[in-house]
C-alpha cells in the first residue's frame, strides 16, 4: 500500500479544512434570512400590504411618506386607485366595512377629502342619500345644527325657489314644513305627549288627537274660560302685573275642545272660503287652544283685541310670567297665520324668556333648540 508522504498529508489536510469551511459558509448563506431593505424594516404597513405595493410598483412612492391606515385598507381590500393616492392620505380611516367602497364612490363623485371626512364623521348612517345624488357642497351645512340629511333634497329645492334666504334659514323653514302645503304632511301627537309636555308645538304640521283633553283644566278667575292649572296660575299673575301698570285686559277665549274648534273652523270656511279661513283659524286638531295652554286676551275697552299700547306692554312683559305672543306682527310667512296680538301661549317662564330674547317665532325656536333628532 502506498503511503502518503508527510507533504501530501499536509496538503490533504489543508484541502479538507478548506472544503469543510466552504460547505459551512454555503450552508450558512442558504439558511440565513436575507436582510430587508432598511426602509422596509421601518415600515408600519403589514407584510402582505407591502407585497401588494411592490406588485403595483408603489412601494417606494408610498413608504417614503407617513403611514396611512386608509391606504393600507384600500390596498388590503383591493379598492386602491392610484389616481386617488394623494386624496387617501387626507381621508381619515373609520372602522366600517363599507369604508373602502364608499370612499371611492364619493371620490368618483368629486367629493373632496374634507367633505368625505365630514360625511364619515357626521352623516355615515345616511351616506346612501349622498351616494344616490350628484355632488353637492355638503360643507355648507356643516355648521347648521338643525340640518337633517333626510331632508336634503327638500333644502336644495326650497333654496332654488327662495334665493333670498341663506342656507341656515332654508333649513329651519323646511324643517318647520314651509316648503309643503299646510296640513298636507304632519306629525300626530299621542295623548301622553300632549298631556305631559308643556313645550310641544301645535301648528299646521303638528296635530293633537281628536279625543285629547287636558286632565288639569281649571277656570280662570271669575270666568268660565279654562286653562291648564299651571297656565291659569301664571295668567293670574300676568293680569295682576298688568293692573299695576294700568294695563287692563280680559280673556275672551281659552281652552277649546276638538269639536268646538271644528265648529268654529267650519263656520269660518263656509263664510269666507277655505283658503281665507286657513289664514286666521286653525283646523280641528291643529289649534293650540285644544292644548289648554293658549288664551286670547282683549283690552278692557275692546271686544276682541289689544290696543297698541296694551300690545306693546304684552310684548315687553308677558314672557316674565311664562307667556309669548304666538303670532307676532310680520311673521305670517313663518307661522302661517295672520298677526294675532291677542293670542298668547304659555311655555313657562324659563322657556318663554329664551324665546322672547331670541327674537324668533316659536316655530323657529322649537326647530332650532327643542326638536329631537
Catalytic positions, written as ranges: 340
Is residue 82 within a helix (H) or strand (E), and if so which, with residue range?
A: none
Q: CB of 280 within 8 A of CB of 338?
A: yes
Local structure of 296: helix, strand or coil? strand
Name the residue with cell 323657529.
Answer: 364
Q: CB of 284 within 8 A of CB of 258?
A: yes
Q: Give the separation between CA 59 and CA 86, rounded to whole angstroms.
A: 15
Q: Give the separation between CA 173 and CA 175, rounded to whole angstroms.
A: 5
Local structure of 342: helix, strand or coil? strand
Q: What angle do CA 360, 365, 369 make, to 5 degrees?
A: 145
Is residue 248 within a helix (H) or strand (E), and if so which, with residue range?
A: none
Q: Give the separation between CA 125 and CA 138, rounded to whole angstroms.
A: 15
Q: CB of 146 within 8 A of CB of 334?
A: no
**φ and ψ at residue 343, rounded to 5 degrees:** -95, 115
For residue 253, what are the β-bridge partners? 296
**φ and ψ at residue 24, rounded to 5 degrees:** -60, -50
Q: CB of 214 within 8 A of CB of 346?
A: no
Is residue 363 within a helix (H) or strand (E), and if so which, with residue range?
A: helix 362-365
Q: Give the separation between CA 351 and CA 74, rounded to whole angstroms.
A: 50
Q: CB of 296 within 8 A of CB of 251?
A: yes
DSSP states of 100-167: HHHHHHHHHTT--HHHHHHHHHHSGGGHHHHHTS----GGGGTT-TT--GGGHHHHHHHHHH-TTS-H
* Cell numbers found for residue 268: 269660518
Amino acid at each position: 500500500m502506498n503511503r502518503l508522504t508527510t507533504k501530501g498529508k499536509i496538503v490533504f489536510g489543508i484541502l479538507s479544512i478548506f472544503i469543510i469551511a466552504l460547505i459551512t459558509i454555503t450552508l450558512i448563506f442558504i439558511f440565513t434570512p436575507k436582510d430587508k431593505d432598511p426602509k422596509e424594516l421601518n415600515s408600519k404597513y403589514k407584510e402582505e400590504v407591502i407585497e401588494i405595493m411592490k406588485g403595483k410598483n408603489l412601494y417606494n412612492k408610498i413608504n417614503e411618506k407617513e403611514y396611512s391606515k386608509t391606504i393600507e385598507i384600500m390596498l388590503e381590500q383591493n379598492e386602491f386607485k392610484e389616481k386617488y393616492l394623494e386624496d387617501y392620505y387626507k381621508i381619515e380611516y373609520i372602522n366600517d366595512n363599507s369604508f373602502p367602497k364608499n370612499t371611492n364612490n364619493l371620490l368618483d363623485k368629486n367629493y373632496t377629502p374634507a367633505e368625505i371626512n365630514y360625511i364619515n364623521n357626521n352623516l355615515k348612517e345616511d351616506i346612501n342619500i349622498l351616494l344616490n345624488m350628484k355632488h353637492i357642497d355638503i360643507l355648507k351645512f356643516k355648521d347648521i345644527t338643525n340640518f337633517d340629511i333626510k331632508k336634503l333634497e327638500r333644502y336644495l329645492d326650497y333654496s332654488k325657489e327662495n334665493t333670498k334666504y341663506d342656507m341656515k334659514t332654508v333649513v329651519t323653514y323646511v324643517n318647520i314644513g314651509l316648503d309643503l302645503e299646510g296640513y298636507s304632511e304632519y306629525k300626530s301627537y299621542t295623548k301622553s305627549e300632549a298631556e305631559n309636555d308643556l313645550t310641544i308645538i301645535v301648528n299646521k304640521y303638528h296635530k293633537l288627537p281628536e279625543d285629547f283633553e287636558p286632565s288639569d283644566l281649571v277656570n280662570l278667575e271669575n270666568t268660565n274660560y279654562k286653562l291648564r292649572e299651571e297656565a291659569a296660575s301664571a295668567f293670574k299673575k300676568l293680569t295682576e302685573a298688568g293692573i299695576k301698570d294700568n294695563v287692563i285686559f280680559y280673556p275672551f277665549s281659552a281652552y277649546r275642545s276638538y269639536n268646538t274648534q271644528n265648529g268654529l273652523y267650519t263656520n269660518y270656511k263656509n263664510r269666507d272660503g277655505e283658503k281665507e279661513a286657513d289664514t286666521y283659524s286653525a283646523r280641528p286638531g291643529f289649534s293650540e287652544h285644544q292644548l289648554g295652554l293658549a288664551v286670547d286676551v282683549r283690552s278692557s275697552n275692546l271686544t276682541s283685541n289689544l290696543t297698541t299700547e296694551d300690545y306693546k306692554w304684552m310684548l315687553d312683559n308677558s314672557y316674565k310670567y311664562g307667556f309669548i305672543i304666538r303670532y307676532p306682527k310680520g311673521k305670517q310667512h313663518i307661522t302661517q297665520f295672520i298677526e294675532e296680538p291677542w293670542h298668547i301661549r304659555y311655555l313657562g317662564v324659563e322657556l318663554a324668556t329664551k324665546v322672547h330674547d331670541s327674537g324668533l317665532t316659536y316655530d323657529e325656536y322649537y326647530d332650532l333648540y327643542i326638536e329631537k333628532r
